[in-house]
Amino acid sequence: MPKILVQSSQAPVTGFTDASKPSPLAQAIRAGDFLYVSGQGPLDPVTRKVTADDIATQTRQVLANLAAVLEAGGATIAHVVNMRVCLRNTSDFPVFNETFREVLNGEKVTRTCTGGTPHRAGVLVEIDCVAYLG
């Protein structure tokens, strides 16, 4: 079964090391009954610039970007089975986790959250996910 590329104009395209060249990444790929969404950061969909400098606002933007890509692929957060989170500062975890809980509003997913250094300056959080559409 071929993979299907998914694109949303309501979420930023990322993966640029040189803005004059196309990104090597897909926002998401559907493979069978699964939708794999590339890591989303707290970027404005139009400007591709970081939208805020606090973890709560960035977390909301990241989850909004994920939701937009999921929608383009025929899914919602309710279809998500797994998320991977990278926090620049692990000390942000309590505020991140509370914001995540508020946005998901009772929806349950499996999740791994690690500390690391997202590649883009100013990005405090990045999240990717896998959704099951079957």
d(CA 13, CA 25): 8
Which of the pair, 13 or 5, is modelled with greater confidence?
A: 5
| pLDDT tens, residue by residue, 71-124 | 999 999 999 999 999 999 999 999 999 999 999 999 999 999 999 988 888 999
pLDDT at 19: 72
Total residue count of the chain as it appears in this document: 134
| pLDDT tens, residue by residue, 14-58 | 777 777 788 889 999 999 999 999 999 999 998 889 999 999 999
Domain residue ranges in the chain: 4-16+23-132
Class level of CATH domain 4-16+23-132: alpha beta
Q: The pTM is what?
A: 0.95
> Phi/psi at 19 (nearest 5 deg)?
-60, -15
